[in-house]
Amino acid sequence: MNKNWKAATLAVQGGYEPKDGEPRVVPVVQSTTYRYDTTQSVADLFDLKRAGFFYSRLANPTVDVMEKKIAALEGGVAAVALSSGQTANTLAILNIAKAGDHVVASAALYGGTVNLFTVTLPKMGIKVTLVEADASEAEISAAVRPNTRAIFAETIANPALTVLDFEKFANVAKRFDLPFIVDNTFPTPILCNPFKFGANIVTHSTTKYLDGHATSVGGVVVEGGNYNWANGKYPELSEPDPSYHGLVYTDTFPEAPYSVKMRVQLVRDLGCIQAPMNGWLTNLGMETLALRMERHSENALKLAEFLKNHPKVDWVSYPMLPGDSQYELAKKYLRGGSGVLSFGVKGGKEAAAKLLDTLKLAALVVHVADVRTSVLHPASMTHRQLTDEQLVAAGVKPELVRVSVGIEDIEDIKADFDEALNNL
């Protein structure tokens, strides 16, 4: 693979180089096991003296292609594919933090990540301080403690659509010599490369645009190769690991110690690898990633403009819409706004619920980021137990409709919304 290839080429051909007579299309290696000629071959694999496959809980040739493609697209040095986006964010932290440690994260996060950070990680002894996305550098710095092990944020937050102020968070991470972990799920590497803006680790829910067809739950963690893990703060990486006869990851694998440790220690012990079929489908989906992200962004901007001018619509939120509160940050860091927008229907909660029942092309689903246009009304779905006052406090207005704009013809998408809105 030519590392200088542009993203659209890497998305199609990255990670897989068939040799003479081998399949042109990545094969799905649906096998848990691999055969060897000698016990020495297997011993060398177990001792990590040579690379190869010996059991699909650790690595699999199909998943390996997909990992290499994502690493190349992000401009990273290695990637580990996992069973879901939730697992990706969990392991990204657990790989470098243990009971007694602390993490600082932007509060503009996916709800599942908020729960992970405020309920589950604390139960494991890892405390997380959430800082507002618009906090100043001084305020973020004030949240850092001597036992802080990472700073975490999302490029475009789901569902708030807040765009990450990379410079601000990266400056704090650098000042305290901490790794900066960024969940880049919504933009994908086609619209943003967090490593260029100071991130050291990138995570994805591959369930979203990378797969793009809503077939496979998965996640990935990508290592940037731009952080010194031997700085004394991460002894699990820079001191002997008893699991591997005293192996020191930073010495033996200086190019990608974080990824090697994650795979051979956490993935081995916790068993949360991505299944070969999911890796295969995700890789196939990624072949059209560049085309799809261009179209998702174009359609979402056109729908945002259309809705903004519609008499039945109160407000529209889309980072690439001129005048949006996130517009300046979006222009600075993104090459497109991705496919998710939200808007408020005049008439509040009831009108929003009725709208969703009337739409025909846009389907009601609890998912975002695939080729089909879909909608969600948090107030009557994911957040239905909350009162109107509680909804506002949670940042979810009762009239808010979230749209994941697909790649269908924009005229058909607009017509669907127009008809449903006019029927209110």
Helices 61-74 and 276-286: crossing angle in degrees, nearest 10, is 40
Q: Is 220 in the site for ligand PLP (CB under 6 A)?
A: no
Number of residues interacting with ligand PLP: please give it, by CB under 6 A.
15
Q: How far is the CB of 86 from ligand PLP (least distance, A)?
A: 4
For ligand PLP, the closer CB: 148 or 216: 216
Task: Decide the pairing of beta strands 374-376 and 400-404.
Answer: antiparallel
Q: How far is the CB of 110 from ligand PLP (least distance, A)?
A: 4
Which region among 107-115, 143-151, 275-283, 338-346 touches ligand PLP (by CB under 6 A)?
107-115
Residue with the two structure tokens 């410079």? 167
Residue type, 362: A
Residue nearest to ligand PLP (CB): 85
Integer Cα distance of 149 and 169 in angstroms: 14
Can you tell me which of 56, 106, 148, 185 binds ligand PLP, judged by CB under 6 A?
185
Q: Is 282 in the site for ligand PLP (CB under 6 A)?
A: no
3-state secondary structure of 87: helix
Are 348 and 399 in contact by the 8 Å Cβ rule? The answer is yes
Q: Token pair for residue 190?
A: 């086609």
Which region among 108-116, 166-174, 298-306, 356-364 touches ligand PLP (by CB under 6 A)?
108-116
For ligand PLP, the closer CB: 257 or 285: 285
Are 184 and 74 in contact by the 8 Å Cβ rule? The answer is yes
Q: Is 152 in the site for ligand PLP (CB under 6 A)?
A: no
How would DSSP label each residue in 150-170? EEEEESB-TTT-PBP-HHHHH
Q: Is 74 in the site for ligand PLP (CB under 6 A)?
A: no
Q: Is 285 in the site for ligand PLP (CB under 6 A)?
A: no
Q: How many CB atoms lie within 10 A of CB 127?
A: 18
Q: What count of residues does the chain have?
A: 424
Integer Cα distance of 147 and 233 in angstroms: 9
Can you tell me which of 16, 110, 227, 249 binds ligand PLP, judged by CB under 6 A?
110
Q: Is 209 in the site for ligand PLP (CB under 6 A)?
A: no
List contacts with ligand PLP (CB under 6 A): 84-86, 89, 110, 112-113, 154, 158, 183, 185, 205, 207, 217, 219
